Structure formats: C-alpha cells, structure tokens
C-alpha cells in the first residue's frame, strides 16, 4: 500500500462505514443508485490522491464509474439531476438538507461536477480539496436522517415519486 497519507485516512473512514442497520433493498432504486454513485466518486477521488493512479483499487473503481455512465441514463435514473433542481426551486428547505456533493454536482447553476470521475467543486481552483471536506461529504451521506430518507416510502423517496408523477 505504500506510505499512508492524509487521504488514506479519509478512505479508511469511508470503508469503516456500514449500512448494517438499513435494508438497502427497500431504498428507492434511483436514490440508492446515486447514493452508491456518490460514494464511488468519493472513493475514486480519494484513491487517486492516496495511491498510484494505476493501482488495482483505482482501476476497479474507474471501471465501475465507466459502467455507470450508461446506467444513469436508464429509466427513472435520468430524472435525478432534474429532481435535484426541482427540489431547489420547489422545496428549498429540503434541498438545503441534501448532502453537499449532490447539491453542487447536480445543481445546474453550480460549476461543480465530476471531471474524469474526480470530484471538482471549483473548476477554477487547482488545489486539491482538503481531507476535512471529504470527511464532511462522507458524514453527510451516512447521517441517520439522510439514510432514512432514502427508503421508497420516506421523505426523499416520496418527493422523487411526486416529481416523477408531475413530469
């Protein structure tokens, strides 16, 4: 593995998380896809800063991320970016409670995005995000309230279905 750096510790923090108390089979399918997708982008971004770019870990995550490009276009998954922007306009208080990564990447008015599968919050800033930013991202995706909202019959799942029905 080589010499441990500060980003390796953030990866260990991510890998230490568990969904054992949740039944992910009952999560809303679209929200679950984008939940796992966000974690994969966090993993990949941290991985290229913690390990050699050509490490098997980074190659495997990169292969998943290449696969998901086509997967995000299938069915209701394609509605997710519009859903985030709908929340911003129609339910701003719920939008504000979303994880920062979802808000920034999918907000059409924000320049943040995934560039070569890496998380880039500010395309004009060439400095790497500090490890504390990734710790925050991870924690936001694993708060009990957020995880509970991912179920089909929970707040975010219900809002997605409301949005989908109105399209």
Task: Per-residue pLDDT tens, the chain, 167 aa: give them.
Answer: 445 789 999 999 999 999 999 999 999 999 999 999 999 999 999 999 999 889 999 999 999 999 999 999 999 999 999 999 999 999 999 999 999 999 999 999 999 999 999 999 999 999 999 999 999 999 999 999 999 999 999 999 999 999 999 98
Matching residue, tokens 């966090």: 42
Domain assignment of residue 106, yes or no: yes
Domain assignment of residue 140, yes or no: yes
State how far the Cα of 110 lies from the Cα of 145, in Å rounded to an integer.
Answer: 25
Helix (H, G, I), strand (E, B) or coil at 89: helix
Q: What is the pTM of this model?
A: 0.94
Domain assignment of residue 161, yes or no: yes
Task: Name the residue range of residue 35's domain.
Answer: 6-16+24-123+130-165
């Amino acid at each position: 593995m080589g010499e441990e750096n500060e980003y390796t510790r953030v990866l260990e923090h991510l890998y230490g998380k568990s969904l054992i108390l949740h039944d992910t089979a009952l999560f809303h399918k679209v929200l679950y896809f984008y939940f796992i997708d966000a974690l994969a982008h966090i993993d990949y971004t941290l991985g290229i800063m913690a390990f050699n770019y050509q490490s098997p870990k980074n190659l495997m995550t990169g292969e998943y991320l290449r696969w998901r490009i086509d997967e995000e276009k299938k069915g209701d998954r394609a509605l997710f970016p519009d859903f985030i922007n709908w929340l911003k306009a129609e339910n701003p208080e719920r939008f504000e409670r979303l994880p920062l990564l979802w808000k920034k990447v999918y907000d059409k008015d924000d320049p943040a995005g995934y560039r070569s599968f890496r998380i880039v919050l500010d395309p004009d800033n060439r400095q790497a995000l500090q490890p504390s930013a990734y710790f925050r991202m991870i924690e936001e995706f694993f708060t009990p309230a957020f995880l509970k909202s991912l179920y089909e019959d929970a707040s975010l799942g219900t809002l997605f279905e409301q949005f989908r029905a109105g399209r």
